[in-house]
A = this chain, B = another copy of it.
Amino acid sequence: MATQFYSKRNLQFLLYEVLDVQSLIKYPYFQDHARETFDMVLDSAEQISEKLLKPLLTEMDRKEPQLVNGRIKIHAGMFPILKKFGEDGWINAGFSYEEGGQQIPSTVLSSAAFIFQAANYSSSVFPFLTSGAANLIRSFGSQELKETFTPKMYTGEWQGTMALTEPDAGSSLSDISTTAEPTDSEGVYKIKGQKIYISAGDHDGCDNVIHLMLAKIKGGPSGAKGISLFVVPQKRNSQLIDNDVITAGIYHKMGYKGAPIAHLMIGSNDNTLGYLVGEPHKGLMYMFQMMNEARIGVGMNATAIGTAAYYASLEYAKERPQGRVISDKDIAKPQVQIIRHADVKRMLLFQKAVVEGSLALLTQCSMYADLALVTEGEEREHYHLLLDLLTPIAKSYPSEMCCLTTSAAVQILGGAGYTTDFPVEQFYREARIHPIHEGTTGIHGLDLLGRKMSIKNGKSLQLLVAEILKTIEKASSLDQLKPFAQKLQIYLSKTDTVTKHLLGLASKDVEIFLSDATLYLELFGIMTIAWQWLVQAIKAEKALLAGATGDDFDFYQGKIFTLRYFYEYELVKIDALMKRLLSEDNVTVEMEAAWF
């Protein structure tokens, strides 16, 4: 079993050298903190991960949760983990002091989550879901709802969920058919319907499950405009009376097996009560708050799994002797470690480039979220717009690419990688969920090109371009980085050409305009990660110029070489994507079902 599953050094580099997360302390909301408290949070996450989460990684994959007499039984090893997450305050650590929270910046908390996810992805989702659900209640719910539900969610005794998907409504949420009928009590509704693929939708590691559920109030508007948000507990009030939410099934999956995914029947006996959150018909808007967080969270999950796979394959590559260097194949000499082979180094650099680039982007997004929380007016709007634009990329780039990086990890181990004797095959299976959940990659492509590009007349894009140009300018002042700054400038301009071309189609034929939105998302993702690599390289190059030695020298050299790798092997992919995106052959639109 691989020992290292993430790099503390790299996380500290991103937080303290690149993002300067300590600078948040100057805002009153964060004023009680210091680098020491941030380090404590991260160290604590590492300790819990090493002691509790990581030892269960394989075990939870082998012994999946099962549905037994209407209740899902999870791996018993999860019980102390759930208890620990609650007791140590992880679930509401980011919330305000008044809410019992600790006002920890999101940038630090999501970094801690990254450590948990890299150690054991399945086990990390339980508190994350509860935190997101509680966040919806505290943001939009009445005082009564808050008092009734959030305290036991914060302690981890009650599990929270997002209950959106239905058999006929996955990507198309407008089509949900779960209904809500008013009762005599204000804000209390009878709920009826079914929900599928509900993560942690039921399990024996908690006393109650609090579903944040989308449903349509009878008589309301059709489609998305008629969707409302409800708190639908598995058990009602403090007496924990059964609320007629039946666990009808459990899904068995390719990976991510440790987390139970439930199929729920709601109100089969006409006896499910749901509590309206906020105003009627605004459910989707509320839910999007949670979904946007969840989307950044999914990008982080993928990055964490990719990171664990990277270190597992790196460790193997450093230890496994096989073959000889191409320039000296003398059979009498002993075999060399495979990390000496250029093709193996290429596969390692690929992983490093993707996972560290993704982590840089994701922590940057969290920093924007923190800044949006503590700033005002135009400044706040800027951070919101940047975060909004980057969300589909921060979700999709890591999700898509970590399917490929975990595949590279398997390839480095060769036959061994395909066996269950090593963890990389599990990482390969676990990575594959991320392009699907919290909006498929296709949905995010539509979001980026069809929505985000045009918000406020393209202001989000202008803001991002301004950030990238700032980076290019800084890099241009460093001799070693000048060529990379120039390259990024060229590809930024190529991206601009493609964006203008596509937006030009919007008014002509919306079907054609959006037909390759997924490819546009891919192109934009590569450009964004190239930017993040230049951001990192500036800090690394300055440190090298300042005379870094020893481990520091190695670390910064690694950054510069990975920048080179990314610009040599990844950034150029934009050329192929651009060629396609500027083409006028609408083959995917014109293709007919009968011709397949």
Contact = CB atoms under 8 A, between A and B. Distances in A.
A457 interface: no
A343 B322 CA distance: 43
Interface string A311-345: 00010001001111111000110010101111111
A168 to B, nearest CB: 7
B585 A576 contact: no
Given A352-B596, A433-B418, A561 B591 contact: yes
Contacts of A403: 407
Given A321-B168, A569-B580, A580-B572, A326 B436 contact: no
A386 B509 CA distance: 47
Contacts of A436: 410-411, 414-415, 417-418
Interface stretch (A130-138, A186-194, A232-240, A515-523): A515-523
Contacts of A331: 174-175, 222-224
A594 interface: yes
Contacts of A314: 596
Interface in A252-279: 252-256
Given A349-B588, A403-B407, A572-B580, A595 B558 contact: yes
A69 interface: no
A564 B587 contact: yes
Taken together, the copies of this chain in the complex come to 2
A167 to B, nearest CB: 10
B445 A418 contact: no
A440 interface: yes
A172 interface: yes
Interface in A100-140: none
* Size bracket of the A interface: 35 or more
Contacts of A222: 331-332
A61 to B, nearest CB: 11
Contact of A561 (B345, B568, B590): B590
A82 B594 CA distance: 38
A546 interface: no
Nearest to A321: B168
Nearest to A424: B254
A165 interface: yes
A253 B418 CA distance: 6
30 contacts: A165-B415, A170-B322, A171-B322, A197-B415, A251-B419, A251-B421, A252-B421, A253-B418, A253-B425, A254-B425, A255-B418, A325-B511, A326-B511, A327-B510, A342-B589, A343-B442, A343-B445, A343-B588, A349-B591, A407-B432, A410-B436, A411-B441, A415-B436, A415-B437, A555-B595, A557-B595, A564-B587, A569-B580, A572-B576, A575-B576
Given A345-B588, A418-B433, 11 more contacts: A251-B419, A253-B420, A254-B418, A318-B593, A337-B593, A339-B593, A343-B515, A346-B588, A349-B588, A415-B436, A573-B573
